[in-house]
A and B are shown apart, each in its own frame.
Chain A
Amino acid sequence: DTAVSQTPKYLVTQMGNDKSIKCEQNLGHDTMYWYKQDSKKFLKIMFSYNNKELIINETVPNRFSPKSPDKAHLNLHINSLELGDSAVYFCASSQASGAGTQYFGPGTRLLVL
């Protein structure tokens, strides 16, 4: 069973489009995260979210918004996609609220043309 899953695995789209990436965890964790890994393999936090609190890395453009329909899901919605958004996006989760080991999904490779 996959602990943290993401869909789609690959996403190719045009500039200006709006797209969503889905993440689901079956670990019963309270907190979920989104990270962005750029072409140089630098991995940077974007959001931390549990059902009580959203923490946003201040460098993330407001075109990016996390949406959580329930505790097991945290989707990433991106408006008006730009070329610089091309990257690999990783979802992760941890057990306690904002603490503990994070377990990562397989990543979604986004290419904006």
Chain B
Amino acid sequence: SQELEQSPQSLIVQEGKNLTINCTSSKTLYGLYWYKQKYGEGLIFLMMLQKGGEEKSHEKITAKLDEKKQQSSLHITASQPSHAGIYLCGADLFPGNMLTFGGGTRLMVKP
């Protein structure tokens, strides 16, 4: 089993719809990171959350970390085809800032 569980594993939405991706751990998350990976390409950094209850937004993407620092959500408002890709959450569970990643959520946005 993964130390970081992401849900859903895949998601297909109609353009303009809102969506939420979740990242959950049984351990406390120190430094929770959200990345986006376009198919066949590298990872693009989106946001980092560190404090319980923290929320950050960039354009139409909002990420939150719960008060217990064990769950994070990524919310996309009014999705567009450009949002399509694989969203990965990563957290510092090992010493030395070696990130542990969730299994990823594959997002497809239908025009």
User: How many residues from A make CB contacts under 8 Å with B?
Assistant: 27
- Selected from B35, B96, B103, the residue in CB contact (under 8 A) with A104 is B35
Residues of B within 8 A of A103 (CB): 45
Say whether B48 faces chain A, with CB atoms less than 8 Å apart: yes
Residues of A within 8 A of B104 (CB): 41-43
Q: Nearest Cβ distance between residue A58 and chain B, in whole angstroms?
A: 10
Q: Nearest Cβ distance between residue B40 and chain A, in whole angstroms?
A: 8
In the complex the two chains form, what is the Cα distance from A35 to B42 in whole Å? 11
Q: How large is the interface on B (under 10, 10 to 19, 20 to 34, 35 or more residues)?
A: 20 to 34
The residue in B41, B42, B88, B100 that gathers the most chain A C-beta atoms within 10 A of its C-beta is: B42
In the complex the two chains form, what is the Cα distance from A1 to B65 in whole Å? 33
- B96 near A48 with CB under 8 A, answer yes
Q: Chain B: residues with CB nearer than 8 A to chain A?
A: 2, 31, 33, 35, 41-45, 48, 86, 88, 90, 94-101, 103-104
